[in-house]
A and B are shown apart, each in its own frame.
Chain A
């Protein structure tokens, strides 16, 4: 076992442990802290998969912006553990859902054609061109992202930008005080 495999085990334990503790913690602030641990673990796994830009984005967007938003709302609403109410968990549907997920995963893995999961090892990363036949070639460089976003994924990029604008306006409308209809 080499060093990278050890890192994989450490970070996957961190991710899964953080997630499980988040799901089971009573206090929302504790849950948010465990969530940050889990998100950082996911970012480290992205680094192990040679996707450095996505790792940076994961830390900035999830561990930064999203969690700050969560903590802000938790403190704004002032929700605490609230006694027995949040301790009452519905275990049966949860266990049923986990069983269903694993069943689905096993079915998918057994029905996927052999070629799509054929690679039992990682193909070497030598300087891939941005365009590889019909596909965009995998690259660790950020410019590969830019190239893909502004050529093949131009329309989705515009739609995503428009969706962010719509979300922003929606949040402003939702959180605005109700105006009197007649001033």
Chain B
């Protein structure tokens, strides 16, 4: 008798996505923003793998593979942009980046 069903994994994935989204919205440190983005991607990955396992279909797992590739590239480019921005503005906070405002 199994108690943990695919639905439990989906609820967990939603919760993890929500925590990551929460982080993206409340933090002003761009480093933390990027980390929260990774958390959201992980939530999606859990949902995809649980769909893949429960329907015995490999497509979801391969999609997770591609998501990991894209996430790694995204972090590398994002951090390079952050370093370039830090050299110019001397700050990692998103509310110091308001060149368009005035």
Q: Which residues of A contact B (CB under 8 A)?
A: 1-2, 4-5, 8, 12, 15-16, 19-20, 22-23, 28, 31-32, 35, 38-39, 42, 45-46, 49-51, 53-54, 57-58, 61-62, 65-66, 69-70, 73-74, 76-77, 79, 85-86, 88-91, 93-98, 101-102, 105, 109, 117, 119-123, 125, 128, 132, 135-139, 144-145, 148-149, 152-153, 156, 160, 163-164, 167-168, 170-171, 174-175
Q: Which of B60-74 contact A (CB under 8 A)?
A: 61-62, 64-66, 68-74
Please count the residue pairs between chain A and chain B whose beta carbons lie under 8 angstroms apart in the complex: 239
Main secondary structure of the interface of A (DSSP, over half): helix
Whether, in the assembled complex, B101 has its beta carbon less than 8 Å from a beta carbon of chain A, the answer is: no
Report if A117-B22 is in contact (Cβ < 8 Å); known contacts: A42-B46, A90-B28.
Answer: no
A16 lies within 8 A of B27 (CB): no
| Cα of A58 to Cα of B18 in the assembled complex, Å | 20
B75 lies within 8 A of A138 (CB): no
Interface-centre pick from A4, A8, A79, A152 (highest chain B CB count, 10 A): A79
Main secondary structure of the interface of B (DSSP, over half): helix
Q: Which residues of B contact A (CB under 8 A)?
A: 1-10, 12, 14-29, 31-32, 34-36, 38-39, 42, 45-46, 49-50, 52-59, 61-62, 64-66, 68-77, 79-84, 86, 92-93
Task: Give 6 closest A-B pairs by Cβ, nearest first.
Answer: A136-B58, A23-B23, A94-B26, A167-B73, A105-B14, A174-B80
- List residues of chain B with CB within 8 A of the CB of A76: 83
B35 lies within 8 A of A135 (CB): no
| Cα of A50 to Cα of B3 in the assembled complex, Å | 17
| Cα of A153 to Cα of B31 in the assembled complex, Å | 33
A167 lies within 8 A of B76 (CB): yes
B45 lies within 8 A of A148 (CB): no
Partner of A174, one of B14, B61, B81: B81
A51 lies within 8 A of B49 (CB): yes
Report if A117-B7 is in contact (Cβ < 8 Å); known contacts: A73-B31, A74-B31, A85-B93.
Answer: yes
| Cα of A137 to Cα of B71 in the assembled complex, Å | 26
Closest B residue to A135 by beta carbon equals B57
A79 lies within 8 A of B23 (CB): no
